[in-house]
């Protein structure tokens, strides 16, 4: 049975994780399905944004599937981990802007999945946390690294070492979310954000993301050199000429994504 649904809305695609019986927890088939969809969408040059959300009102993703992990043998756990990393790579290296629309619990692997997205907006009823230490494991899906990069070392350590859940409003204050909205507005707001991004030059959006994302893993000097190269690449595009000409001619630009 399919655990992930895909819908197109203009320049955006919505991936919905749909395993309500386990609060959308990620078992191996779901991770693989999600990766396959993400990889296919990565090839689609008409898209600008990919939204990720959970089915139902209760959960975005309540973590990796604990039942499925309980009795894993070490080699199976390794394969499980590799499947997880392949999924993260598909999201992290996406040419599109990835937006997590967090509609409920985003716990453990669920929060890690959301943190692998470029942007996160949540409904005011969402709760976020990394409860792994309470299960005798550590966050192994990027959580020990990405949370600190997003909200700073001290706050990340507090969240991760207590394993506590925090409400969306607190996550907003910490800088983990960019917006919190009433739950019936979540998809509307996420799609509006996607639409706003899609009005810009598609190549510039892709290169801006690429420059920021790759630059985070480099020393500042190298990152600035990379930024300069990406800036230069913009000047090989039709959209740079069009964007600047449209400004001079006081009209809206007609971007072509080339």
- Spatial CA neighbour of 48 closest among 202, 238, 254: 202
Nearest distance from C-beta of residue 197 to ligand DAK, angstroms: 28
255 binds ligand DAK (CB under 6 A): no
Choose which of 66, 150, 208, 246 interacts with ligand DAK (CB under 6 A). 66
β-sheet bridge partners, residue 59: 105
Choose which of 107, 160, 171, 180 interacts with ligand DAK (CB under 6 A). 107
Q: Cα separation of 171 and 129, whole Å?
A: 9
Nearer to ligand DAK, 70 or 220 (CB): 70
Q: How many residues bind ligand DAK (CB under 6 A)?
A: 21
- The number of beta carbons lying within 10 Å of the beta carbon of residue 48 is 22
Catalytic one of 7, 39, 124, 132:
132
Catalytic one of 112, 158, 173, 195:
112
Give the three-class secondary structure for 237.
Answer: coil
Choose which of 56, 140, 215, 257 interacts with ligand DAK (CB under 6 A). 140
Choose which of 118, 132, 189, 227 interacts with ligand DAK (CB under 6 A). 132
In the 8-state DSSP scheme, what is residue 178? S
- The secondary structure of 60-103 as a DSSP string is EE--B-HHHHTT--HHHHHHHHHHHHHHHHHHHT-SSEEEEEE-
91 binds ligand DAK (CB under 6 A): no
Phi, psi of 62 (to 5 degrees): -85, 20
Nearer to ligand DAK, 12 or 106 (CB): 106
Nearest distance from C-beta of residue 169 to ligand DAK, angstroms: 18
Nearer to ligand DAK, 49 or 62 (CB): 62
Can you say how many angstroms the Cα of residue 103 is from the centroid of all Cα atoms in its chain? 14
| 59-61, strands of its sheet edge to edge | 59-61, 105-107, 127-129, 165-167
Choose which of 109, 168, 204, 237 interacts with ligand DAK (CB under 6 A). 109
Residue 112 is a catalytic residue: yes
Choose which of 49, 55, 128, 131 interacts with ligand DAK (CB under 6 A). 131
Given a contact cutoff of 8 angstroms between Cβ atoms, the answer to whether 109 and 141 are in contact is yes
Quick one: which H or E segment has residue 236? Answer: none
Nearest distance from C-beta of residue 80 to ligand DAK, angstroms: 6
Nearer to ligand DAK, 170 or 238 (CB): 170
135 binds ligand DAK (CB under 6 A): yes
In the 8-state DSSP scheme, what is residue 140? -
Residue with tokens 């001290």: 154
Nearest distance from C-beta of residue 131 to ligand DAK, angstroms: 4
Give the three-class secondary structure for 184.
Answer: helix
Q: Are strands 4-9 and 12-17 parallel, antiparallel or unpaired?
A: antiparallel
Residue 242 is a catalytic residue: no
Active-site residues, by number, are: 112, 132
Q: Given the rule CB under 6 A, which residues bind ligand DAK?
A: 22-23, 25, 62-67, 81, 84-85, 105, 107-109, 131-132, 135, 140-141
């Amino acid at each position: 049975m399919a655990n992930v649904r895909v819908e197109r809305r203009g320049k955006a695609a919505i991936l919905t994780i749909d395993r309500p019986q386990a609060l959308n927890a990620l078992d191996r088939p779901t991770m693989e399905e999600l990766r396959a969809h993400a990889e296919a969408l990565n090839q689609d040059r008409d898209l600008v944004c990919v939204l990720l959300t959970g089915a139902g009102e209760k959960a975005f993703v309540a973590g990796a599937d604990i039942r499925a992990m309980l009795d894993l043998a070490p080699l199976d756990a390794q394969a499980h981990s590799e499947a997880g990393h392949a999924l993260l790579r598909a999201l992290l290296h996406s040419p599109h802007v990835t937006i997590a629309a967090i509609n409920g619990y985003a716990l453990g692997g669920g929060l890690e999945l959301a943190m692998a997205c470029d942007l996160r907006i949540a409904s005011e009823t969402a709760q976020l946390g990394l409860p792994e230490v309470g299960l005798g494991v550590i966050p192994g899906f990027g959580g020990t690294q990405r949370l600190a990069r997003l909200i700073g070392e001290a706050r990340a350590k507090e969240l991760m070492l207590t394993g506590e859940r925090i409400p969306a409003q607190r996550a907003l204050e910490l800088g983990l979310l960019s917006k919190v909205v009433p739950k019936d507005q979540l998809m509307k707001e996420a799609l509006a954000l996607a639409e706003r991004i899609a009005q810009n030059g598609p190549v510039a959006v892709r290169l801006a993301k690429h420059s920021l994302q790759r630059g985070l893993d480099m020393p500042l000097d190298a990152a600035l050199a990379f930024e300069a190269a990406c800036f230069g690449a913009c000047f090989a595009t039709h959209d740079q000429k069009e964007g600047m000409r449209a400004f001079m001619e006081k009209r809206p630009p007609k971007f072509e994504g080339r």
